[in-house]
């Protein structure tokens, strides 16, 4: 099992599960990151924070802590 935090730049992955609860999970879902959606990792900052991604045609920045809650395949 890997999380979005483990994915390298340029890879596209599919979200299989969102961990976390309450406001954190809601914030991730509000970004359009839901089960079954494909995520392209565009760029990872040198220290791994933030992670820039493309989701549903939008460019977003995710904190490393949020990326750890998104399980992908």
| Beta-carbon count within 10 A of 14 CB | 11
As a whole number of Å, the end-to-end CA separation of the chain is: 7
Cis peptide before 50 (omega within 30 of 0): yes
- Model confidence, pTM: 0.89
For 72, counting Cβ atoms within 10 Å of its Cβ (0-12 exposed, 13-18 middle, 19+ buried), the class is buried
User: For 17-63, what is each residue's pLDDT tens digit?
Assistant: 999 889 989 999 999 999 999 999 999 998 888 999 999 999 999 99
Mean pLDDT, residues 8-14 taken together: 96
Q: Tell me whether strands 12-18 and 38-44 are parallel, antiparallel or unpaired.
A: antiparallel
């Amino acid at each position: 099992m890997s999380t979005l935090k483990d994915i390298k730049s340029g890879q596209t992955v599919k979200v299989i599960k969102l961990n976390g609860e309450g406001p954190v999970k809601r914030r991730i879902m509000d970004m359009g990151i839901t089960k079954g959606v494909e995520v392209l990792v565009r760029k990872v900052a040198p220290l791994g924070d933030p992670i820039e991604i493309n989701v549903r045609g939008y460019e977003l920045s995710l904190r490393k802590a949020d990326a750890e809650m998104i399980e992908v395949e």
